[in-house]
Structure 1
């Protein structure tokens, strides 16, 4: 992550300062010394991101119980991320008018309501519709949560982003396990479980998160789209879209290949999420400090190309698929941190606006990949989704090559 002096930060400067050992140690200590509000928001983020991986172990069960095919069930992801992506465009405007805390609480309330309703679904259509409402709450919560953590955390933006990515990784890791345990009882269990967890997070934030008064400046509803006129932010976001295609191909399509029951799928994706969490928090900063954010991103994308190709070749060998899925989690963890840090630092846009613009574009990968991957497998061959993900990763690398100069001028060079 980048380190700037106080004067540079206040002036909007972004000139990186090479860290010494004392600086690195100070950042590590500051990461653990956070206000209660930061930990409360991070906990809510864990529960929110659990909701993404929670359905993984029960995808085959949903297909069986609701008499649906894999491509129909994949719409659970598509509807969720379609609404999330579009609503990212208005989160900043809403937050600037009602305040960050109210926006967070509204998002959490919607998640509680629609997660509970999803558990009552009697058809795939109902489940897809309720997941879309869930996505609305997710959009209001996730984009605002990152901005709130950045604003409240001690230690600067670099520490805040690591905390946010740690929450993401922990949620991704725990989600499949919780989904497996509750899904083993009944496929509806994970949805009711999410509603309970998010209700707990909602109550904690009502008490622990300080009020965030509305500032005099209101963010325009068009601000995120205008922010994408910045070449660096657009390039990072567009590259992240193709990167996320592979991310969600692994997450949404692979469970149908494993054929190992709720617990088997849950354990595989627990390994995947654990690798994602560890590498996003501990390994990504090391590589970034050595070779820079853009170079780390491109090298990791090249590694993902190799993993996706191998998944395509060995898709019929469960133990190989399991190993490759966990390896992909490690690589995805590195790039999650890299992309978030680059998006938040590559332009001079306000952080809530940059976050909304970036998330709008990158979540489109989550809209396209689940349905596209299952359709490709059904119409062609089970290997095709992974080869397509490899091609998407190549596009992501190419876009980053053209964006690297903007990242190196503005972006983080060191942790």
Structure 2
């Protein structure tokens, strides 16, 4: 589907996604729809950057881990130092042993190496380099803990009442908490207070010592008008993003926290952003409408487990990513469905029932989900055929050729492990 056609659908409120069955639209957002956006980690907000009006909010004041969006505050304090003349872009920042020892992602500079403030800022905005975040914190605050105290103080002064920083990078720390609303306040403050430096967040790539370092923000260049600002990920937080863009002279800030994958997070943020712009255009024509009235809850997009290099909080093999559930199931509970007598067994018996495991904007994502589910959950789908079907602007990942009993048992097993699925009976 073309972008103009997609935006037209958004503007009339027909749908931002098609339900798993493909036959009906999902319930409106205010009707408590199903999907990963209902999971405990999820929080979101859409704000008009000029007026501060909240166009949409969901768990916007619930405590969340900011992950690498933390670095927006780190950069805010750097910008503050630059504006006050206490720091210059060509000043050198020395890498301490502590900074060099940070977990990936990082530039990997050695203790005693140095980097310019200009390159250091770009490294934070694009690669989300944890070693450079610590080096900047030590350069300005003396120690990272002292710098984190300055971050928290500045947060309170900006009105981020529910935020506390314990480090400059966003690496896991149970004391490091924020909310979607507070991150919107921070994003707005950067644009308002330091517009001359905000363009840093639109950097899609930069060269450093022969390396081309690319931004983790995939919405840059993908969504018309989007020009920043920052992504983040840890196992505890899920996939986070703060994003901003301008259309028709109006700027919106969108925060999405707790996504199960980078693709799901990005698609949800894009949908919220485009819906917000649609609402503003319709209001200009005299309509009384809100984002919630115009928003249909998106289905999961992208595999629910996926390696990440955004924060570096995964195992080295990239396989252990916490799912959307806030509390991981104990092994015994996870294994329980496998012991049920109606569990589907590997069989060559063919049926006419289908199990659907996701609906996606890209065919490649649907195919990737099929491979992921078959590899991870195995037995229920050994005798099934994995196919993708198109319709309503989505590609559905489906396993066909199952008996009714096998289809229902397979879906129960997936749902017990927080994997969305839907049983489709023969037509």
TM-score (norm 1): 0.27
> Which structure has the larger Rg over C-alpha atoms?
2
The structure in which a higher percent of residues are strand is 2
